[in-house]
Chain A
Amino acid sequence: MRSLLSKSSGQFLIFTSVVMMCCFPLFFYVMKNFYAKDLDELIKFRSEHFVETNNSTLKISDIDYWNRFNEDMKILPYENSYPLNKVVQKSLFSNVENHEIDYRIYYRKISIEGKPYVFMSQIAMIESKDLFRTLGVQYLLFFVIIVIGLLGIQFVLSRCLWKPFYNSLNEIEDFNLEKGEIPEFEKTTTTEFARLNGNLTKLMEENVASYKQQKEFTENASHELQTPLAVFQSQLDLLLQDNSLNESQMNVIESLYDVSSRLTRLNKNLLLLSRIDNSQFKETITIDFSQLLERQLTYFKELASNNGITLSANIQNALEITANKVLLESLINNLISNAIRHNYSGGFIHIEVNGNTFQIGNSGSKTPLDKEKVFRRFSRTSEERKGNGLGLSIINQICKLHGWEVRYNYKDEIHCFYVNFYLE
């Protein structure tokens, strides 16, 4: 993953490099052409200059003398084979360089004392190789300066341009649906970003609204269910007083009681969950967790032994935590009753408080629970309907609310839950 800026700069660098590379041969040939033209003008000028200044005073007897001292301007006897009045390029042996090099040569017909001669003016060219190197170095230098300059400009411009985008990004990263606070975006003059921000705000507002509605719905629904449940239960309580009931009718009533208490339990848990979601448990006090646990344990020990389960506890230290008391009790009750419920006669439960952690392990089914799903609502891992599928999500919500960590682990046929109370 790379940032937008580095990506665009990288691409810019690649494309400009390719374009500049492609341009170099063109640049080279154009330069070379201009250079040759320059030389041509020079040799033409030299020969014209000769004709204008020296030609009239030169005598035939001076030709040898002239030729001896002029390497690049020679007077040759007239021959038809010379290409007259145009510049040609020839490779000649150079005594200086000790190898052949290219020359630009211009032949012009002159007459000395009435006799025709040919005036040859030549000039050595820079070797192609050398020209290439020189131009290449210059070009590269030029290229580097341009690219650095452009990159810098692009970087600064992009940063300015994308700033509102990064601001929005930071704002939405901090957005938390549960807190329900919609971030305020900075005003931007870019149409697209203004649109983006507008749409983001709208999305978040809708999300928060529907989340709130959903939370309220659960709570309201649970509330509304309480009255019919109360009617249902009171009817059963009255029915039970009827003296004429026979055994089979009593059995029906008993199963209705079971249904009624299951419904009540489910409803209470739903209500508790939605109340946690609606943050109705704000008051916190400092509680000694170990003491509270010890108190709850008296009841659970009795309950466990009624179910043929051995409950042992090793509370090593006092553990002062800041929490909502109702929720903390609910956490303990849910964890221990889960351990009893998903156990078997002859099984065991071991509870440990050590440092900042509370740990409860129990015997139970021989298959581990799904770590991913275990804290989700109504995600039963077995078809057994022992609980109502909300206990662990209540535990999870309580821990989340207080900033504690809860984990599930299965090892050596022991189902284990850990709660880590982070203490500052």
Chain B
Amino acid sequence: MKILLIEDERELSNNIGTYLASDHYLCEQAFTFDEALEKIDLYSYDCILLDLNLPGGDGLKILEEIKARKIDSGIIIISARGALDDKIKGLQIGADDYLAKPFPLPELSVRIYALMRRQQFSHNNTLTSNGITIDLLAKTVNVGNTEIILTKSEYELLLFLIGNKNKVISKNAIAEHLSGDMADMLDSHNFVYAHIKNLKAKLNEAGAEACIKTVYGTGYKWEDKDA
């Protein structure tokens, strides 16, 4: 799967590239406005990550250009501007998602994952990992034939973990994912810990393998045996 990463901050761009490469994404980088337009012109991408503040022009112009050319790549805006106006404008022009900087890489990864799933496998709404089947439309989770009843947060957590399988995810990333803006408000470590504990217990009870690995109490990892 090919991703175009339009981001002028080289270090950030490299980090995103490295993180996504391990998810078997093929990442190409563009650092300036012109470079981005050139790449869009020459190649086709499944997903475009677009920063709005670019040397040489406004990222929103690139977005308009993509839409004008009827390129059907999924587009996620990653911006430091973060103002509500920009977000609304970006989504109106046709971006699929919006992520304000700074963001945890697992969050970006799971957004790309969700976007790709929506775009390419719209007929297939189930997700399987380690014998656990998730019906994304009905929002149900099954281990074999046993259904596991999860709360909304636990369901989100499960998807987040699987979306970043085989990667260590920090508590902060999980907290931000689960509580959105409200993660800013509080120290969410206990909150994350409680949810992980409950999810683990429910999965164990249903007979799923121990897939959530705790890494020295700092991060969590979903180990996918099939990968």
Interface residues of A (CB under 8 A from B): 223, 226-227, 229-238, 240-241, 245, 247, 250-251, 253-254, 257, 260-261, 264-265, 268-269, 271, 275, 280-281, 299, 302-303, 306-307, 326, 329, 333-334, 337, 340-341, 386
State the Cβ distance, A230 to closest chain B Cβ, in Å.
4
Contacts A237-B19, A268-B184, A275-B83 given; does A227 touch B106 at CB 8 Å? no
A229 to B170, CA, bound (A): 16
Query: Among A231, A240, A281, A303, which residue has its beta carbon within 8 angstroms of that of B186?
Result: A303
Interface residues of B in 144-169 (CB under 8 A from A): 153, 167-169
A245 to B102, CA, bound (A): 24
Nearest neighbor of A243 in chain B, beta-carbon distance? B168
B18, B105, B169, B190: residue with the most chain A Cβ atoms closer than 10 Å: B105
Are A250 and B218 touching (Cβ within 8 A)? Answer: yes
A261 to B185, CA, bound (A): 11
List of B residues within 8 angstroms of A247 by Cβ: 216
List of B residues within 8 angstroms of A271 by Cβ: 82
Query: Among A226, A250, A299, A329, which residue has its beta carbon within 8 angstroms of that of B179?
Result: A299
Are A236 and B80 touching (Cβ within 8 A)? Answer: no
Query: Among A231, A245, A261, which residue has its beta carbon within 8 angstroms of that of B12?
Result: A231
State the Cβ distance, B164 to closest chain A Cβ, in Å.
10
Contacts A230-B102, A233-B102, A326-B84 given; does A340 touch B186 at CB 8 Å? yes
Q: Interface residues of A: mostly helix, strand, loop or mixed?
A: helix
6 contacts between A and B (CB under 8 A): A226-B80, A238-B105, A250-B215, A250-B218, A280-B85, A306-B191
A340 to B191, CA, bound (A): 13
State the Cβ distance, A260 to closest chain B Cβ, in Å.
7
Query: Among B18, B103, B191, B217, which residue has its beta carbon within 8 angstroms of that of A230?
Result: B103
State the Cβ distance, B214 to closest chain A Cβ, in Å.
11
> Cβ of B171 < 8 Å from any Cβ of A?
yes
Contacts A299-B179, A306-B194, A337-B185 given; does A227 touch B170 at CB 8 Å? no
Are A229 and B216 touching (Cβ within 8 A)? Answer: no
Query: Among A230, A241, A254, A337, which residue has its beta carbon within 8 angstroms of that of B167?
Result: A241
Are A236 and B170 touching (Cβ within 8 A)? Answer: yes
Are A233 and B81 touching (Cβ within 8 A)? Answer: no
List of A residues within 8 angstroms of B191 by Cβ: 302-303, 306
Are A337 and B11 touching (Cβ within 8 A)? Answer: no
State the Cβ distance, B221 to closest chain A Cβ, in Å.
9
List of B residues within 8 angstroms of A235 by Cβ: 11, 15
> Cβ of B101 < 8 Å from any Cβ of A?
yes
Query: Among A230, A233, A257, A333, which residue has its beta carbon within 8 angstroms of that of B185?
Result: A333
Contacts A226-B80, A257-B171, A334-B185 given; does A238 touch B18 at CB 8 Å? yes
List of B residues within 8 angstroms of A250 by Cβ: 215-219
Tell me the total A-B contact number using a CB cutoff of 8 A: 114
Query: Among A230, A237, A275, A337, which residue has its beta carbon within 8 angstroms of that of B80?
Result: A230
Nearest neighbor of B184 in chain A, beta-carbon distance? A265
A253 to B169, CA, bound (A): 12
A264 to B185, CA, bound (A): 11
List of A residues within 8 angstroms of B190 by Cβ: 306-307
Besides A226-B80, A299-B182, 18 new A-B residue pairs in contact (Cβ under 8 A), listed by A number: A226-B82, A227-B9, A230-B9, A231-B9, A231-B11, A231-B12, A233-B102, A240-B215, A241-B168, A245-B216, A257-B171, A261-B172, A264-B184, A271-B82, A306-B191, A326-B84, A329-B181, A337-B182
List of B residues within 8 angstroms of A226 by Cβ: 80, 82, 100-102
List of A residues within 8 angstroms of B101 by Cβ: 226-227, 229-230
Nearest neighbor of B81 in chain A, beta-carbon distance? A223
List of B residues within 8 angstroms of A260 by Cβ: 102, 172
Are A237 and B12 touching (Cβ within 8 A)? Answer: no
A327 to B87, CA, bound (A): 16
List of B residues within 8 angstroms of A241 by Cβ: 19, 22, 167-168
> Cβ of B208 < 8 Å from any Cβ of A?
no
Nearest neighbor of A223 in chain B, beta-carbon distance? B80
> Cβ of B16 < 8 Å from any Cβ of A?
yes
State the Cβ distance, B185 to closest chain A Cβ, in Å.
4
> Cβ of B131 < 8 Å from any Cβ of A?
no
Nearest neighbor of B83 in chain A, beta-carbon distance? A280
Query: Among A229, A234, A261, which residue has its beta carbon within 8 angstroms of that of B105?
Result: A234
Are B16 and A234 touching (Cβ within 8 A)? Answer: yes
A346 to B74, CA, bound (A): 48
As a 0/1 sequence over residues 187 to 203 of chain B, the CB contacts with chain A under 8 angstroms (1 = contact) are 10011001000000000
List of B residues within 8 angstroms of A340 by Cβ: 186
A230 to B181, CA, bound (A): 16
State the Cβ distance, B18 to closest chain A Cβ, in Å.
6
The 3 closest A-B pairs by CB, nearest first: A337-B185, A230-B102, A234-B15
Are B186 and A341 touching (Cβ within 8 A)? Answer: yes
State the Cβ distance, A159 to closest chain B Cβ, in Å.
52
List of B residues within 8 angstroms of A307 by Cβ: 190
List of B residues within 8 angstroms of A238 by Cβ: 15, 18-19, 105
State the Cβ distance, A338 to closest chain B Cβ, in Å.
8
Nearest neighbor of B8 in chain A, beta-carbon distance? A227
A386 to B181, CA, bound (A): 18
